[in-house]
Amino acid sequence: MTHTAALGIDTSNYTTSVSLVVDGEVISNRKSPLPVADGQRGLRQSDAVFAHTKNLPALTDLIGADIAAAGVKIGAIGVSRAPRDGGESYMPCFLVGIAAAHAASSVTGAPIYEFSHQAGHITAALYSAGRLDLLDGGEMFAAFHVSGGTTDVTVVTPRVGGFDVERVGGSDDLHAGQLIDRVGVMMGMRFPCGPELEKAAACVPVSLSMKTSVRGVYCSMSGAENKAAEIFRETGDVSAAASYTLDFVTATLDKMTRALRESYASIPIIYSGGVMSCRRMRETLGVRDGVWFAEPEFSSDNAAGTALLAYRKHMGK
């Protein structure tokens, strides 16, 4: 029996990742975070490029073993070329993945398909949530992409070989992941701070009563950083500052979801991006009808969505 296999490569600002998809199923999803020094809130692009260059040999060795174990030949290669779709979207770190994709293509003869990092996130979330059927139906759906570098509300229109993404809302200043990491680093946590912040907040009940800054499907999050710092400065209570931060993001996303539904009624909504790995947020936002979430492995940066997109495009889907 002949199998169709696709290799995915994604070199985002904080994770090097490679993935193997065989006959539409994710067989392997390998990833390695980029190192960030204690007390730092991110990486310069030059440091990210260097870290990807160091990470890729070990990851490609692992995925090579996975390919051999699966007994398949690579028929298509997908790679993330930019953060979002659009000519103005660019980050040097993605050049490392593109170089690796061309090297793999020269050896395997497999064609290269390029996608945005955001498109990969959306596709990985759909796969994990069991809703890849949304790409086959032709009807629009909505996708939140919530991470350290993006807080976007998008409307997605499927087409043969992929989909078109229209940004209809999002943050005007800080992204949700930036807020979470800034508050966490301020309290001495290690970047990325989401898991540690969620652990600290676990003992505090969820509250969405705080004031937010939401105007339809657009929001501002910078004020929450000052408020969380004030809570920590005045009380020294890590759990209080952590729960306020996560619940502020949740309340903001909840209001934006309601505003989206006012314009698009019962449109299906998928939440993607690393911030949506937070189960505290998922359990609160998930009470709404017609919303879906990816499992943490497919919410955080990964190459699975890129591999799935390459497989689908290669198969003419």
Q: Is the pLDDT confidence value at 86 over 90?
A: no
Do residues 125 and 190 both lie within one domain? no
Kindly state whether residue 156 falls inside one of the protein's structural domains. no
Kindly state whether residue 147 falls inside one of the protein's structural domains. no
Kindly state whether residue 119 falls inside one of the protein's structural domains. yes
Do residues 282 and 309 both lie within one domain? no
Kindly state whether residue 164 falls inside one of the protein's structural domains. no
Tokens 């009940």, located at residue: 205
pLDDT of residue 2: 85
The domain in which residue 80 lies consists of 5-129+298-314
Q: Is the pLDDT confidence value at 261 over 80?
A: yes
Kindly state whether residue 206 falls inside one of the protein's structural domains. yes
Do residues 281 and 173 both lie within one domain? yes
Do residues 173 and 105 both lie within one domain? no
CATH of the domain at 66: 3.30.420.40
Kindly state whether residue 92 falls inside one of the protein's structural domains. yes
Kindly state whether residue 174 falls inside one of the protein's structural domains. yes
Total domains in the fold of the chain = 2
Do residues 12 and 125 both lie within one domain? yes
Kindly state whether residue 158 falls inside one of the protein's structural domains. no
Do residues 90 and 174 both lie within one domain? no
Do residues 303 and 259 both lie within one domain? no
For 65, the enclosing helix (H) or strand (E) is helix 45-70
- Rounded to the nearest integer, the mean pLDDT of the chain is 96
Pairing mode, if any, of strands 151-159 and 162-171? antiparallel
Do residues 9 and 125 both lie within one domain? yes
Three-state secondary structure readout of 91-126 = CCCHHHHHHHHHHHHHHHCCCEEEEEHHHHHHHHHH
Residues 6 or more apart whose CB falls under 8 angstroms from that of 139 comprise 158
Do residues 54 and 69 both lie within one domain? yes
| Chain segment 115-125, per-residue pLDDT in tens | 999 999 999 99
Residues 6 or more apart whose CB falls under 8 angstroms from that of 165 comprise 84, 85, 116, 118, 119, 122, 143, 154, 155, 156
Average pLDDT over residues 288-311: 96
Quote the crossing angle between the two packed helices 304-314 and 117-128, to the nearest 10°: 90
| Chain segment 132-151, per-residue pLDDT in tens | 999 998 899 999 999 999 99
